Amino acid sequence: MRGRAQGAALHPGTVTLVGAGPGDPDLLTVRAARALMIADVVLADALVDDRVLSLVRRDARVIDVGKTPGPGNKTVAQDEINERLLEEARAGHVVVRLKSGDPFVFGRGGEEALFLAAHGVHVDIVPGLTSAVSVPTLAGIPVTHRGVSTSFTVLTGTARALDPIETDALEQQWIAAARTGGTLVFLMAMHVLDRVVARVVEGGLAGTTPVAIIQNGAHEDERTLKSELWRVVDDVRAARMGPPAIVVIGEAVNAIPVVTHPFDLDGRARIADDADAHGAPEAHVSAPQPAPLDGGAPHSAAIADAGVDSDTIAVALEKTDVRL
C-alpha cells in the first residue's frame, strides 16, 4: 500500500483509492483525472459530482456505493463495499474507489486499504482536496488567519455506532476542541447541529461566536449562511438548509468580510446571509441546474458545465510528465 510520489502505470488486479475533491471537476487533481480515464471499474460515493464521473471511460462500469443517511435512503454497508472491491480486483480489473474530498479524511479509506492489503491486493492512494479546508476557502473563509486563528480542528458529527457511550465520547471531543480554540470545522454534523452548539458553548465559546453553514460546497447549488451560535439552529431552519453541509465555527468566519466567494467567476454561488435567513422563508436564489447526463449514466457525457470534455483533458494530460 502506498501513496505514490512518482508515477507508475495502474495494473489489473489493483485498487486505487482516489480523492475526488469537494465537487467541482476543476478542483480534481491531474492524477485523479488520469486514474478515472484508465479504470475498468469505479466504485463511487454518493457525493461525487456527476461532472467528475463523466471522466470515466464510456466502456467502464460505475458502481454506486454511496451512503445516504436517513429513512428510506439507500446505504451500502462498509463490509459490502470491501468485498466488492476485493471481488473486482481478483477478477483482474483496474479498480478505482472514488471518494469525495480526500480518501483518508472521514472517508473510511484507511479501513478499505487495510482490508485489501490483508487479502493480498495492492492498494495505491491518490489524495484529494479535503472539503474541510477547500469548501470554506471557496466561500471566502480562511480556517487560519493571522491575528484571528492560528489553528483549526476538523471534527465529525457522526458517531461510529448509535451507542450512548460512543455518542458521549464524540461530544466530549467537541467540548475539548472548543476549549482548545481556533477554528472548528464539522463534517456530517447537520443532523446534530443543536447538540454541536450546546457542546461548544459548554466548552467555553460565546453565543455570539460566528458560524458559517456551507451547503453543497463546490457544487452548482452551493449555498452559504453566516450566523452566530445562539441563533444558527433557527437560521438554518428558516433558510431550509440541510445536509450535505459543512459547519465552520470561530472568528475566522468573518475574517475577510469583503470576500464572499473568491473563485466564483460565473456567479453560481448561493450566498444566504443573516438578513435573508430572517427575512425570507428560503434564503437563496434559485440557480439553473446542470443539464442531465445522457441516458442517466453519469459517465456517458462530457463535462459540459466545466467547459471542457474528457478528450481535451486526456490530450492535456499526455503533454504533462504526470503518470499514474
Query: What's this model's pTM, rounded to 2 decimal places?
Result: 0.79
Range with the poorest average pLDDT among 59-73, 92-106, 150-164, 170-184:
59-73
Residue 265 contacts by C-beta under 8 Å, 6 or more apart in sequence? none
Active site residue 99: no
Cα gap 182→246, rounded to integer Å: 16
Give the per-residue pLDDT at 291: 33
Which has the minimum average pLDDT: 79-83, 157-161, 163-167? 157-161
Q: What is the pLDDT of residue 75?
A: 80
Domain 15-129+291-318, CATH among 3.40.1010.10, 3.40.50.1950, 3.40.50.740, 3.30.1300.10 = 3.40.1010.10
Q: What is the mean pLDDT of residues 11-40?
A: 95
Q: For residue range 75-131, what is the model confidence (pLDDT) as tens digits?
A: 889 999 999 999 999 999 999 999 999 999 998 999 999 999 999 999 999 999 999
pLDDT exceeds cutoff 60 at 211: yes
The pLDDT of residue 297 is 39
Looking at every residue in the chain, the average pLDDT score rounds to 82
Select which of 24, 37, 40, 45 is catalytic: 45
User: Could you tell me the CA-to-CA distances from 274 to 145, 213, 215, 280 in Å, in that order?
Assistant: 23, 11, 15, 10
**Listed range (19-33, 54-68, 165-179, 268-282) with the worst mean pLDDT:** 268-282
User: Rounded to whole angstroms, how far apart are CA atoms 276 and 256?
Assistant: 20
Residue 316 is placed in which grid cell?
492535456
Q: Where are the alpha helices (DSSP H) in the chain?
A: 30-38, 50-53, 78-90, 109-118, 131-138, 164-180, 193-202, 232-239, 274-279, 310-318
Q: How far apart are CA 99 and CA 109, in angstroms?
A: 8
pLDDT at 10: 76
Active-site residue, 45 included: yes
Residue range 272-311, pLDDT digits in tens: 444 444 443 333 322 333 333 333 334 334 334 444 455 5
**pLDDT at res. 158:** 87
Active-site residue, selected from the candidate residues 188, 221, 264, 276:
188
Share of the chain above pLDDT 90, in %: 66
Known catalytic membership, residue 1: no
pLDDT digits (tens, 9 = 90+) for 26-57: 999 999 999 999 999 999 999 899 999 999 99
On the question of pLDDT at 266 being above 90, the answer is no
φ/ψ region of 291 (left if φ > 0, alpha if ψ in -120 to 50, else beta) reads beta
CA-closest candidate to residue 136, choices 177, 101, 174, 176: 101
Can you give the residue ranges of every domain in the chain? 15-129+291-318, 132-279
**Contact between residue 300 and residue 16 where contact means Cβ atoms under 8 Å apart:** no
| Choices 3.40.190.290, 3.10.25.10, 3.30.950.10, 3.40.50.2000: CATH for 132-279 | 3.30.950.10
Question: 92 to each of 41, 63, 89, 268, how far by Cα in Å?
Answer: 10, 17, 5, 42
Cα 217 from Cα 263, distance rounded (Å): 12
Catalytic entry in 67, 221, 264, 309: 67
